Amino acid sequence: MAGRLAGKIAGLLAAALSVAPLMGASADAPAVKPAVPFIEDDYARALSEARSKNVPIFVENWAPW
């Protein structure tokens, strides 16, 4: 149902990840203030900044469910 890897392995084995259920996913929708300066939903801007600073991009791919 959940878990960092355990539930995800189970989901893979059940071929269920493409149809993520309404329960057993991560619910992180409410906005919170992160400790590092995230650019929200703007890959082009992140790419440009990373190139000019010569640092890699760290991406958090998430979904609100």
In which residue are the tokens 């991406």 written? 59
Measured from the CB of residue 39, what is the shortest distance to other proteins in angstroms?
5
Measured from the CB of residue 31, what is the shortest distance to other proteins in angstroms?
8
Query: Is there a contact between 25 and 63 (Cβ–Cβ < 8 Å)?
Result: yes
* Rounded Cα distance, 36 and 46, in Å: 14
Q: Cα 28 from chain centroid?
A: 10
Per CB under 8 A, contacts with other proteins among 32-51 are 32-43, 46-47, 49-51
Instruction: List interacting residues with other proteins (CB under 8 A).
Output: 1-13, 15, 17-30, 32-43, 46-47, 49-51, 53, 55-65
